[in-house]
Amino acid sequence: MTLIKSISGIRGTIGGKVNDNLTPVDAVKFAAAYGTWLKDYCKKDNPKVVIGRDARISGAMIQSLVVNTLVGLGIDIVDLGLSTTPTVEIAVPMENADGGIILTASHNPKQWNALKLLNGKGEFIDGAEGAKVLEIAANEAFDFADVDDLGTVTVNDKYIDIHIDEVLKLSLVDENVIKGNKLKVVVDGVNSTGGIAIPKLLRRLGVEVVELYCEPNGHFPHNPEPLKEHLKDICDLVVKEKADFGIVVDPDVDRLAFISDDGEMFGEEYTLVACADYVLSKTPGNTVSNLSSSRALRDISNKHGGSYQASAVGEVNVVNLMKKNNAIIGGEGNGGIIYPESHYGRDSLVGTALFLMLLAERKQKVSEIRASYPAYFMSKNKIQLTPELDVDGILKTMAEKYQNEDISTIDGVKIDFPENWVHLRKSNTEPIIRIYTEASTQTKADDLAQKIMGEISEIAGI
């Protein structure tokens, strides 16, 4: 069982011992640390915080603990109830709130939960502020409010509908054009809040929806990370229903994957590529993704006359580089679409609407659109961490071994070879080293991964 404390929040498994797992005590302590930091950060005794959660089994318990801890600090709460990460992100500025918390462990299995922390812009707090929250939690430097100064709770369960309204207002989204296509789409909501939000959006756009695992009860029917090996059911159902394509989201709806009309994966990496292709064709500009994302976005950006840059992994890093480079679209290769005209956060609702516009314009099958993009193949592997592994030493040795190649060390070690690349980094969300490779064929990507993993094992003596 695991508890991971990082600048982006706290994430852990439910149950177990305090400080080793995400127990009620840990949830209260970290919520109190965030609330204490926020009061100092915005110089208010009673700031406002928006809170929403995915449909995890532990969600109601964690939400009650977090909400009432913040109330005890004198903080006013806007409670969205069952929601999505991007919905909370847009609600923060719309409510003129000072911060927000999303209670979700994203793609992690059901035994996990987490607190994701937002600032007053509805964006993830940065590294410096996150470090302050961790320090407050470590010192338990809390000062709770007197009885007359307790915070209040206001419930607003309309924000998914408000979020959909905001998506349909985007300049590059025309609901009448989409309605004219008369599409049929299968949706796998992994029994979380995507099962509420995505079908609602599609029906507003005149799309016939076939629901699969859209009951938000938190009992994930498969591993919730939207990878090919977990998605046989929807792949089969798309073909059976003769649907135009399928949509899969993770439990908090910030990662978006498509299934082509032939039942094959469109490719999580290509979600951003396709959305960017549509956006750049209308509004040329720059793009950003992270170091672990496909080269295909670079190719599409160049095709439309824009420039591409890569950031360290992590949404806040992508957002910071997007702002610096005035990127008009960006995100992460795990299916995360960030479209600044909407907000600076990964948003599967925005991504779905942009993809539907691409389909409406191209008048092609989804499989045909996928075939039109540069062919890259990725291999995503991991090595479980143990206390005796010197991760920093391993990464340093690998960087030295390949020092004559194009090396980036802003986030682990990225080695860019002429025809392929490998990215090695310690995960922010799991106790693992991630090994991502990309090449012109799946076999080459897999072979490169095995070669690098063998070298790591030799260095580490495992």
Catalytic residue among 8, 58, 83, 106: 106
To 10 degrees, what angle do helices 391-401 and 442-460 make?
120
pLDDT at 63: 98
Q: How far apart are CA 448 and CA 380, in angstroms?
A: 11
Percent with pLDDT over 90 in the chain: 89
Separation of alpha carbons 374 and 15, rounded Å: 46
Checking if the pLDDT of 8 tops 90, the result is no
**Confidence check: pLDDT of 386 > 90:** no
Say which residue, 66 or 458, is predicted with more confidence. 66
Say what the pLDDT of residue 1 is: 52
Contacts of 460 (CB under 8 A, 6+ apart): 389, 390, 394
Q: Which residue has the tokens 């609602």?
A: 200
> For the chain, which residues make up each domain, given as ranges?
3-157, 163-371, 377-460
Q: How does DSSP assign 124-191, residue by residue?
A: B--HHHHHHHHHHHHHT---PPPGGG---EEE---HHHHHHHHHHTSTT--HHHHHTT--EEEEE-TT
Give the predicted TM-score (pTM) of the model. Answer: 0.93
**Structure-token match 């509805």, residue found:** 122
What is the residue type of 375? A
Q: How confident is the model over 91-102, as pLDDT tens digits?
A: 999 999 999 999
- 259-274 pLDDT tens trace: 999 999 999 999 999 9
**Which CATH code of 3.30.70.20, 1.10.3470.10, 3.40.120.10, 3.40.630.10 fits the domain covering 163-371?**
3.40.120.10
Reported as a single tens digit per residue, the pLDDT across 162-202 is: 999 999 999 999 999 999 999 999 999 999 999 999 999 99
pLDDT per residue over 409-443, tens digit each?
Answer: 999 999 999 999 999 998 876 778 899 999 999 99
Per-residue pLDDT band for 7 (boundaries 50, 70, 90) equals low
- pLDDT one-digit tens code per residue, 102-113: 999 999 999 999
| Residue 457 is a catalytic residue | no
Q: Do domains 163-371 and 377-460 have the same CATH topology?
A: no
Element spanning 238, H or E: helix 232-240
- DSSP label at 228? G
pLDDT confidence of residue 433? 87
Q: Which residues contact 298 (CB under 8 A, 6 or more apart)?
A: 308
CATH class of 377-460: alpha beta
Query: Selecting from 3.40.50.2000, 3.50.50.60, 3.40.120.10, 3.40.50.300, what CATH number does the domain 3-157 have?
Result: 3.40.120.10
